[in-house]
Amino acid sequence: MSAVQDFLNQKAVDVRAAGRYSLASRFDMTGNRRVFACRTSRVSPFQMLVAAPVLAPLGERVISHFGEFGKLDGWISDTIENGFLIDLNVTGDQRAKLADKLEWLEKRQNDPSVIDVRKQQRVIPEDPHTTLLLADGTALTCFAIDVSPSGAAVSADIEVEIGTRLAVGRTVGQVVRRFDEGFAVRFDDLQNPAKLEEAIRPTSALTFAAHSFRTWQANRSARTLRESPAPAQYGNAS
């Protein structure tokens, strides 16, 4: 039995908490640790199963931070598709506080009277893993932190500039902001609020997005030609 399967059989809380993490082997161009977004799916006072965009080998140290739990350090003890299991390295007092927090979160999750008003505006996808497609045709996996009709927050193993054209799943837009865990994409068109999950799904996204990029590039070229001044006319020298 794998460590993940063993953990799933143990007493723990199924809780989705958004957070960020860094790995001992990932650094940016300035030598600082790269930070990525992540989300818990199951947590106990001893271990935590996390969905993440960038994986690492067993034994690698992970530093994570969650609004619900604060800072949690540990080591990767097992991996799954698009995620890993962390053995938490916490003190006895921290473990006791975490146990109390998990008990409270479980009660809150089971209370239908608790409403998250923010979810009316932004959706946290059931499956956060999808595909990024860049204008040059490069495709890579990414982690959708949240999505709204006008855009999405994304974490991926790539550093992009503001203004970069790309597609999140099948929806095309451009990067408008960067933050520690990733970047924000503003969609070219407002999406149907009832179909946000579908809008960022990678199914047939490459064909759709490639077509959208070609259309956008063609429209941009045509607009540039219309706006460019007519070339000066020169007579033949005699």
Beta bridge partner(s), residue 40: 50
- Collapse the DSSP code of 18 into the 3-class scheme (helix H, G, I; strand E, B; otherwise coil) and give the result: strand
Given a cut of 90, whether residue 60 has pLDDT beyond it is yes
- Collapse the DSSP code of 107 into the 3-class scheme (helix H, G, I; strand E, B; otherwise coil) and give the result: helix
Q: What is the mean pLDDT of the chain?
A: 83
Q: How many CB atoms lie within 10 A of CB 32?
A: 11
Under the banding of pLDDT at 50, 70 and 90, the label for residue 106 is: confident
Residues 158-181 pLDDT 10s: 999 999 999 999 999 999 999 989
Given a cut of 50, whether residue 119 has pLDDT beyond it is no
Residues 187-201 pLDDT 10s: 999 998 888 889 998
Given a cut of 90, whether residue 184 has pLDDT beyond it is yes
The pTM score is: 0.69
* Alpha carbon distance 45, 60 (integer Å): 20
Given a cut of 70, whether residue 226 has pLDDT beyond it is no
- Collapse the DSSP code of 104 into the 3-class scheme (helix H, G, I; strand E, B; otherwise coil) and give the result: helix
Instruction: Confirm if 145 and 37 have CB atoms less than 8 A apart.
Output: yes
Domains of the chain (ranges; CATH) run: 3-114 (2.40.10.220), 121-227 (2.40.10)
Residue corresponding to tokens 């959706």: 123
